Structure 1
């Protein structure tokens, strides 16, 4: 009871003394189950969530702290990092839920790293869409393309997976680009936009992801001895990777600037149209041969061409609302480091095809 009172009072203290506007609860999967989620594959069967493996005391604590946070500060936000898919996780406590506002959609970032270790020619559009949309109905999620799990301690950022050592020599605008740089910048923008467009109701950047930071983060550390006796080597307490070069995104002479401009454009698009909080989300095409993904979110139609060599002309796109459509955001715009291959002055009008479907 003393520990419970301390934890609850601690949550209130940060809200009142430091004016925090919310909390992110790390690794709550480990709390909610006596097996801590280790060596468990959650399939969605309710017996996996509500049984003897459920740590009732931990779940009750999460309910209490969420009830306290929202009871004292109704505008505060609580986000839980859970990979198990615990039902009722984002249902309010008075309705019998755990009480979080959002779940971190952790599978998305892991999926991108998995795909980036393969050739993009082998990417499955249906697999990408399934990962982005695989969440419980009406449960709000915070999605992201990468975080510390992908970019810490010797791993690679998405940008470095895509462009590798070319980033050190060919990101200056006064030097010729390379096919790897051109492809990497294009895919980096598309990965971020499709994640934001289809992956949840909130979007999270991570320490330079918004402009394609090339290097990982590593903090000064010495050797570490594990309980098994195995010794992990340190980095000689080096500060070399213990920094972020945020000046890269602001440099007019580097290609990072265009990638950062694209991030700002994504945020402005969401601010203008509010597509992430729209209840209307419909995936109309996952074409494996064309490598095309098309979906509607709110009033917008998103069209992604992930093909490594093919461009498409007069491509028919199904949509639910008839009328005139215009380009709202183009990842190939020169402002974003693209090649401006789309004419933004063209209006696109829907037509009625066979079967009375609007295209």
Structure 2
């Protein structure tokens, strides 16, 4: 076991304490505090693997205990509501070792969207191990070449489907351990399946006890202050992409999942919300360039997207980068060196929404020209990912295509 070094970004704290003993902690010019804990005399780690860890800070709003923003694992103890940060450093013999190479990116993606917890036919929260053994082979048999996994980053509110992230570097402990997730990804690679992570960098949970909100006792540590830092519809916090430490945090996060877990790429959630201060809400995009390059555009967010795509493709040229955008932002899928945002694909949500819209109508009302326009409405040579349905249609306030087609007949057949 190597010595332990802990770095925490704290812009306004007057002291930081690691109990039960006090240790000397240094702060650099950028507000990053660092503590170095040498191993014990017997060579064991100063912090045992599996220990609960928190940071106690004297903040402008009083003394506060927080989970490190960079925590690699967190769990919810029985009978408790907030999650606890866990120091995760298993012995070498318990660490998972990848056995299979990552598949080459196919010319055409056939993506199976999935949620680990909801993947079991039984009324329970499924596990990484069961998904690996029971679900992945079925995905392969169905002819898919990629699996997109939701709800990987830890989230204390399970009903958010994983989109209100509290711990950005920690895989959700509801489904198992980090080693279990690595085993799942390695098995997918053995089957020739790419594994895409549904990554959330567009907003953060507003939890203060186990999330980033109010981390140092202020409203502006990782986020914009005031109304700009709060998403009125999602009830979540919005990152300040103009902050160097926020950029470092998010860029490191993307690299972490690619290197530590061997993900083959990302589907970036809520990119439209990131790129505009109105978040694309109550807004109809007509294609006028003033809608994309006006005062409502969050230039810092667009620059961040360029940076993260440049990082992804610079380190892993075969990695897949998909952005969920409903606005039709120009240059969205043009490489960064050519002046674009740098995504490989735009997630074409209008197509999936169109199928649900049509199923709510009688087929006599369908307009073929409207259907063709929806299917072909994209930038010249822009690659798009289109779904028959995704969680946004099947789970969030609507029904699956199967239910729209069968609906009452399902209930009648059960009587």
Which range, TM-score by smaller chain?
0.3 to 0.5
Q: Which has the larger share of helix? A: 1
- TM-score, normalised via structure 2 length: 0.40
- TM-score, normalised via structure 1 length: 0.46
Q: Which has the larger share of strand? A: 2
